[in-house]
Amino acid sequence: MSDRVDVAVLGATGSVGQRFIQLLEGHPWFRVAEVVASERSAGRRYGEACDWRVSAGPPAEAADLRVQQFEEPIHSSVVFSALPGGIAGEIETRLAGEGKRVFTNARDTRMDPDVPLMIPEVNPDHVAVIHSQRRRRGWKDGFIVANPNCSTIHLVLALKPIWDAFGIEQAMVTTLQAASGAGYPGVPSMDLIDNVVPYIGGEEEKVESETRKLLGGYGDDGFRYAGLTVSAQCTRVPVRDGHTETVSLKLGRSASPEAVAEVLAAFRARPQELDLPSAPVHPIVVRAQPDRPQPILDRDVERGMASVVGRIRPCNIFDVRFVVLGHNTIRGAAGASILNAELLKQEGYLN
């Protein structure tokens, strides 16, 4: 463990920041050396500055770290960012310019033409854009790698094997998203006791655009967005963790539900080949029971790193429909960034 890479976590006291700290505890390759947060927390022990909400208490090692401000110099070469959109872009860009390898969960740079928006199982080849990113921006060692929005990740994980096997022309999606996706304090309890909020600002646009970048190609001419259309309606439901999504797909060529189930269950990709520490053995778990997946039962499958798909059946209008569910702050956020970092380490980008 002694040769682990030091990492800094930005926005470490927030909801996704806490998941970073939790998931990195005992990580074989990375060691949380620095926790960075806003002025309000700076200078205090992390264990005290942080209103820890993801388990009984923070890991002892992290709890003892002193919280740094964004202005202080960061020594770690790898930075995980749980900064809120709007603030993230500027800070992350500065850090990448200083040579940091930044893995961000924020929306700010996701759609930039020289930033790889990555899910290691989906588009590991997009990593190559880093060369052009450095060239264009004049960076030598640093870079920014983004992971998608929480709803997008589980949708696209489920789409990827279908996209490869049969093609997809249209995807109609409704999400039932968990409260933790809005952070803490996030959604008031008065809005989620006995209620649904059928709106999450900016979410539908993210799902609709990020999907096309993720399933698209990358070449000399940059990113080529995938030629599928996505329509998303996003809602918030009284669930702590775990986004549920109903999906209907118009395929490129027809396929039976059984054939779709088969390619989903058989799906393995680069993280599984490389046996990355955070990679799920089965990135997609297929349920045969008629009433699955369900958040309480399925969100923690594969330590929260899998997408769980069920109810695969024909669609009256399109070709196939199903339900996909996944943990939104693990595979949908902090775990996504960490898996990206593991991929890049293994591919030699952290040297």
**Considering the rule CB under 8 A, would residue 172 count as an interface residue with a copy of itself?**
yes
Q: Which candidate in 150, 154, 282, 327 is catalytic?
A: 150
Q: Note whether 231 binds a copy of itself by CB under 8 A.
A: yes
Phi, psi of 266 (to 5 degrees): -85, -5
Does residue number 305 form part of the binding site for a copy of itself (CB under 8 A)?
Answer: no
Rounded-to-integer distance, Cα 202 and Cα 200, Å: 6
**Angle at 247 (CA atoms; ends 198, 256), nearest 5 degrees:** 165
Q: Does 206 bind a copy of itself (CB under 8 A)?
A: no
Instruction: Please report, for residues 124, 223, 284, 309, the alpha-carbon distance to residue 325 in angstroms, rounded to integers and kept in the order given.
Output: 22, 28, 10, 6
Q: Which is nearer to a copy of itself, 104 or 248 (CB)?
A: 248
**Is 315 a catalytic site residue?**
no
Edge-first strand order for the sheet with 143-146 is 67-68, 30-36, 5-10, 78-81, 101-104, 143-146
Binding of residue 141 to a copy of itself (CB under 8 A):
no
| Binds a copy of itself (CB under 8 A): choice among 7, 35, 144, 192 | 192
Decide: is 176 part of the binding site for a copy of itself (CB under 8 A): yes
Half-sphere exposure of 215 (CA within 13 A, CB side): 30
Q: Is there binding between residue 311 and a copy of itself (CB under 8 A)?
A: yes
- Of 50, 162, 301, 341, the one binding a copy of itself by CB under 8 A: 301
Closer residue to a copy of itself, CB minimum distance, 98 or 205? 205
234 is catalytic: no
Give the SS3 label for residue 150: helix
Work out the burial of residue 42: count CB atoms within 10 Å of its CB; fewer than 13 is exposed, 13-18 middle, 19 or more buried.
Answer: middle
Question: Active-site residues: which are they?
Answer: 150, 243
Q: Which residues bind a copy of itself (CB under 8 A)?
A: 15, 53, 55-56, 170, 172, 174, 176, 179-180, 184-199, 201, 208, 229-231, 233, 235, 237-240, 244, 246, 248, 290-298, 300-301, 310-311, 315-318, 321, 323, 325
